[in-house]
Each structure stands twice: as structure tokens, then as C-alpha cells.
Amino acid sequence: MTDRTIQLIAAALQGIRFPAQTWEILSWADYNGVDAQTRHALWALPPGEYRGVAEIASAVTAAEQRGQTHR
């Protein structure tokens, strides 16, 4: 995951309250008009509760490394 993708995730989640469940993260990103690349990255999130953007970025990176992305 690039620094740019992390920045885009942070921008897409601006205003969300943490902790947040995966479905809330995806919904909030859609509400904020997330771009397709960032949305794709967020769909790699395993179900669960996340405490912040850094934790989300780590989870997305780990899922991508395991090849668990959705297309």
C-alpha cells in the first residue's frame, strides 16, 4: 500500500467516529465519495472493529499481502 492510498483512505474517512465496524467504514467512505481505487482497498478489510486510520491501513496491507482482496 502506498502513502497516497493511506492518504486517500484518511480523506475518505474524514469525520467518522472510531471505533468503527467494517460496514460503517465502507458506508462512510461511500458517503464521502471515495474513489474506486480506495474503495477497492477498503473492501480488503476483514470484518471487525477498527480504532483508527492507521489500524485500517495495517489491516488492508495485511489482507493485500495475503491476497485477500475483492474485485
pLDDT in tens, 2-20: 788 889 999 999 999 999 9
More confident residue, 69 or 62: 62
For residue 33, the surrounding DSSP H or E stretch is: none
Residues 37 and 50: their CA atoms lie apart, in Å, by 20
* pLDDT over 60 at 69, yes or no: no
Q: For residue range 29-57, list pLDDT tens digits in order.
A: 999 999 998 998 899 899 999 999 999 99
